[in-house]
Amino acid sequence: MKLSRHHLAALAAFLVWGFFPIPLRMLHGYASGQILFFRILLSLVLLLLVHGLGRREAVQAVVRQWRAAPATERRQVAGSTLTGGLLLTANWLLFIYVVNEVSVQAGSFAYLICPILTALLGFALLGEKLRPNQWVAIALSALSCALLGAGELRTLLMSLVVAFTYAFYLITQRRLQGYDRLVLLTVQLGLAALVVLPLAPLLGAKPLAGFADAHLLLYAAILSAGFTVLPLFLNLYALNMLPSGTVGILMYVNPIVSFALAFLYFGEAASLTQAVAYGMILLSVALYNLNLRQPSTSPPSPLPEREEELEKAKSY
């Protein structure tokens, strides 16, 4: 299959995210709240500049779309945006802590299992259907978690919390289909900044001292521009043409690259039990994304394209 520009954009986005632990580890020793504060602040400033310089029409379109929507939809969009901002803030904070204070493996494991957790939450909270092979994949994932928990329960729990916060974030964003994702992300980061600013002392953040720290500002800027805004643009560009299922499969590049970094770059080691558990997770991921349904002999649906898109979206 020939890779299009959109395939390459999605692949590049997840490759960039896979290398995220490298600049993050350059800030080892800083409080997680301090890193979070400047990542949110600088990402928000960059996104505001982007919208102000080249995406004013997109912002205005979202405002018009929201105002023209029924009152119920407006409340759902506002609620999902607010909840998403809080969950994204929690996820970023926890991920920074896990990578810098626990291990890169733990952070990688969180995002490897995240899509399967998202599917399980979609079944439990949204009533989405799962195929038999997907249930087997979920069972394999649960067994791998049990293996990891038998050795390092604290590490497993930290990974699961990171995975659950992002999985819940993805679930809340299901109600925002049709709205410009980058505009809503900017709103969410604005809300995150409003939450983090008053809580800065409790999170260990020292904004005034941070602005005078050239090392912190440099790597926070790299995290914000190179590992937040840039891959988000690439991902958005890819989603304009590719089905979400294709992008969902490509997203596994992220944790796989991070795992490789953990072993080859950071020199982390894995026990035999951990290696078996990671192998089971990879097997469950492959099994989950298999489409084992038999071709249908019934008449085609009046809306085949819409049903196909919904089915593909479940693997994201």
Provide the token pair at 242.
Answer: 């590719």
Provide the token pair at 287.
Answer: 């099994």
Residue 293 has pLDDT above 70, yes or no: no
Residue 295 has pLDDT above 70, yes or no: no
| Structural domain spans, the chain | 5-290+303-313
117 touches 164 (CB < 8 A)? yes
314 touches 119 (CB < 8 A)? yes
Q: Which of 208, 241, 189 is nearest to 43 (CA)?
A: 189
Measured at the CA of 255, the angle between CA 26 and CA 151, to 5 degrees, comes to 90
- In order, the DSSP letters of 196-216 are HHHHTTTTT--HHHHHT-HHH
Give the rounded percent of residues in the chain with a pLDDT score beyond 90.
Answer: 51
The 10s digit of each residue's pLDDT in 25-70 is: 999 999 999 999 999 999 999 999 999 998 999 999 999 999 999 9
Q: 290-315 burial, b if ≥16 CB within 10 A, otherwise e? A: eeeeeeeeeeeeeeeeeeeeeebbbb
Indicate the range of 2-6, 102-106, 285-289 predicted with least confidence. 2-6
Helix (H) or strand (E) holding 275: helix 272-288
Q: Which of 92, 93, 90, 63 is nearest to 78 (CA)?
A: 63
62 touches 179 (CB < 8 A)? yes
Q: Is 190 exposed, middle or buried (0-12, 13-18, 19+ CB in 10 A)?
A: middle
Altogether, the residues listed in the chain come to a count of 316
244 touches 177 (CB < 8 A)? no
Confidence band, pLDDT 50/70/90 cuts, at residue 177:
confident
273 touches 281 (CB < 8 A)? no
- The residues with which 28 forms a beta bridge, in sequence order, are 30
Reported pTM: 0.86
Mean pLDDT over 20-26 rounds to: 96
Contacts 24+ apart (CB under 8 A), 150-158: 150/273, 151/271, 151/273, 151/274, 154/102, 155/102, 155/103, 155/106, 158/94, 158/97, 158/98, 158/102, 158/106, 158/110
- Residue showing tokens 């192998």: 279
At residue 194, the pLDDT reads 92
At residue 311, the pLDDT reads 43
193 touches 41 (CB < 8 A)? yes
Mean pLDDT over 189-198 rounds to: 91
243: region left, alpha or beta (phi > 0 left; psi from -120 to 50 alpha): beta
Q: Which of 59, 49, 86 is nearest to 181 (CA)?
A: 59
